[in-house]
Amino acid sequence: MDFNEGLNVIVGANNSGKTGLLKAIHLISCPELICTDDFNKNNIQQNYSSKYKEAPPEITIKYLIEHDISEDNTEDESIIKLLSFIGMDKISESKATSMESLQYTITACVKMKYSLSTKEIGRYIEEVKKINTFDEYCDMLKLFEKYYSWHYTNGVTEFDIDKKEATNIFKVDFIEAERNSGSVYKETKGEIDKFLKADENMVTMQKFQQDISSEMKKLIEQVLVNIQSLIDCEKNAIGLEKGYVAIAQDVRSTVSISDSYVIDVRDTKSGYTVPLSHNGLGYNNLINMYMLIRLTEIQKGKEIQKGKDFRILCLEEPESHLHPAMQYKLFKFLKNLDETDSLKQQIFVTTHSSNITAVAGLDNMFMIDYKRQDGDTECVQQSLQIQFKDNENSKKHMMKFLDVTRSDMLFADKVILVEGIAEKLLLPKFMDKLKYSYEDEHISIVEIGGKHFSHFINVFAHNAVQKKVLCVTDKDFKWFKSDVIEPISNYTTFVPSHIEVLNKCFNDATNVHIVSQQQLGQTFEDELFMSNIENDYVLTRLLQIALPKTLKDFIDENGTNFYKWWNNLERINKNSRDKIAPILKKYICACKSYIKDANTYKKLFFAELFLTYAKDKKGDVALSLLVEENLMNKVIVPDYIKEGIKWLSK
């Protein structure tokens, strides 16, 4: 993964590998945070009886580090930290292309391998021969854990390097998701300790400790005199004098400034303060994350200029205990620091929060996924900056419309894109009717509010993540052109322009599927009506839900009898009649023009009538369907929805 210099946001479904990625980054400074349980269990299960009979499993991590330096900057000491890991070919290449500005890039490669001691491999092979099951192998591997260790090399030259040289390159702070006020507070105190250990501060600190010791001596001077007098009187009585040993006493301050440092929470209304530990976790975490980030900036002022200090901050799910509005504000603050080059460290954030992704920006985001198919396992990733590199139009659209609601698709296992609110509301119920679990499959239904499907599909198409994307779109077939009805045959061959574009762009994307109406419907509403055309009860209730309440009795009496509606048209109130009559007259003409298909056109009249009244209140109609359980139980799911759900379930 090729990360940004400042802010990096990693998103993905549960167990996709986000925490594992952060821990892999953390290992460069804390290699002891590993054990045999960190081996990929799926990989072990597949290979314990074959590949790992000949050689024990290993973990190899490569860290590529790029650092820009100037030949004019004689104070930049960063090269000292990186020297053992630099590939000289990279320096020469960079110098050759940057001579005018006297800038070039140092590229270092740290390679870490967690492996079994060569002295133990023979015994390992003998023990493996006794193993019959996967569980037995895991138990055996645990016994060899103490013989595992890290081996460090220059990733380019493969020369062996001392562990300390690798672990001293970065200072990595890791704030885990499962935290309390004390755990993050500890990180803040650690920053103060590091600040005090700087060369220019140590002399001042020693002088400070000596001054405190002197004042403490003055405070208990009489006690010290009394103790010394007692010692002098009895030193011979206990046999110390003959042994040339004497008791010396002193007062030395052991005051720790970091331990003395406290963060309290002050009530801005009344002015009182309470300890951080007595405050709510949400604000505590917010305060501590802020302090950790800003203390780094304060401390690194001089270090940054000299290029001595490489800093990394890993934030695991910073949204924990934070209200959505606070999540949004925190990340807006971080993003602003990144954009103004004020972070002064590389930050890695894993999140499940759509509030965070809504403000993070595409250029900072990485999708990660863990594939498990046919016994094979693979962790895959995709930078959204690279994904949209050659598609500026889609990138601008997504940056504008990837809000809190739509960002949810980044965390799902599968995605359904729909045009409007009705489909979004009813699809979960339709999936339930089709015995396909919406919740268990971790599906995100995203209302895109139009036909701009391609911009959203571009997030997932033609990349390694390969998340399944189902597009549920409208056919938008127009049955009348200048009041002249279209023949049925034209409907079956019609492909709208927006679907043609989608087919052209994503025809080779096996993880994308597009469905639209098949049962003579123009949109979701009239297709739903036509799908239930054989059920008078459902049709009557749909009309009563969509049409004005003043027509309820009329619908009860006349149902979906085409000619009854025509013969009793005058009984409808004027406002409704003025709206219904033109539609009815057009379909009367259609029945006369295509006698063979007259029955179909009669049905289409009621479908269009339902659509005409429902289109301005689609959400309300959908909610009415959901509330009316008896009706919903009788509703038949449209075929194009069935097709999409069937594809999604494979």
List pLDDT tens digits, range 468-521.
999 999 999 999 988 889 999 999 999 999 999 999 999 999 999 999 999 999
| pLDDT > 70 fraction of the chain, expressed in percent and rounded | 88
Q: Pick 617 or 201 by higher pLDDT.
A: 617
Give the pair of three-digit tokens for residue 637.
């799911």
DSSP notation for 571-628:
GS-HHHHHHHHHHHHHHHHHHHH-GGGHHHHHHHHHHHHHHHHHTTSHHHHHHHHHH-
Is the pLDDT reported for residue 183 higher than 60? Answer: no
Q: Average pLDDT for residues 454-474, to the nearest whole number?
A: 92
Question: What is the residue-wise DSSP string for 447-491?
Answer: E-SSS-HHHHHTTTTTSSS--EEEEE------SEETTEEPPHHHH
HSE of 85, CA atoms in CB hemisphere, 13 A: 30
In the predicted structure, residue 19 carries a pLDDT above the cut 80: yes
Residue among 587, 476, 580 at smallest CA distance from 521: 476
What's the average model confidence in pLDDT over 166-195?
A: 73
pLDDT at 114 over 90: yes
Integer-rounded Cα Rg, in Å, for the chain is 35
- For strand 264-266 and strand 273-275, is the pairing parallel, antiparallel, or unpaired? antiparallel
Contacts with 418 (C-beta within 8 Å, 6 or more apart), sequence order: 424, 427, 445, 446, 447, 448, 472, 473
Contacts of 369 (CB under 8 A, 6+ apart): 12, 13, 16, 17, 379, 380, 381, 464, 465, 466, 467
95 has pLDDT over 60? no
Q: What is the rounded average pLDDT of the residues 62-86?
A: 81
Residue 305 pLDDT = 45
Pair type for strands 414-418 and 468-472: parallel
* Separation CA 128–CA 133 (nearest Å): 10
Q: How far apart are CA 58 and CA 163, in angstroms?
A: 18
* Distance (Å, whole) CA 413 – CA 511: 12
Mean pLDDT for 300-314 is 62
Q: Give the model's pLDDT for residue 13.
A: 86
pLDDT at 456 over 80: yes
* Nearest CA among 387, 408, 640 for reference residue 514: 640
Over range 426-448, report the average pLDDT. 92
Residues ≥6 apart with Cβ < 8 Å to 233: none
Instruction: Tell which residue, 431, 437, 472, 425, has the closest CA to residue 625.
Output: 425
For 606, the token pair is 């009621």
Quote the DSSP letter at residue 533. T
Burial class (CB in 10 A: 0-12, 13-18, 19+), 36: buried
Across the chain, which distance is largest between two alpha carbons, in Å? 132
- Record the pTM: 0.80
Neighbours of 245 (CB within 10 A): 9
Write down the pLDDT at residue 220.
Answer: 85
pLDDT at residue 400 is higher than 70: yes
- At 129-169, the pLDDT tens digits run 999 999 999 999 999 999 999 999 999 899 999 999 999 99
pLDDT at 92 > cutoff 50: no
Tokens of 333: 């603050």
Residue 214 has pLDDT above 50, yes or no: yes
Weakest mean pLDDT among 57-66, 220-229, 468-477, 598-607: 220-229
Of 78-92, 336-350, 468-482, the least confident: 78-92
pLDDT of amino acid 187: 61
Q: Cβ distance 436 to 409 under 8 Å?
A: no
Per the CB < 8 A criterion, the answer to whether 67 and 82 are in contact is yes
- Tell me which residue of 579, 599, 580 sits closest to 590, measured CA to CA: 599
Residue 132, burial from CB neighbour count under 10 angstroms (0-12, 13-18, 19+) = exposed
- Residue 120 exposure: Cα atoms within 13 Å on the Cβ side: 17
66 φ/ψ angles, rounded to the nearest 5 degrees: -110, 135
Q: Annotate 331-376 with three-state secondary structure.
A: HHHHHHHHHCCCCCCEEEEEECCHHHHHHHCHHHEEEEEEEEECCE
* pLDDT at 302 exceeding the cut of 60: no
Residues 415/402, Cβ–Cβ less than 8 Å:
no
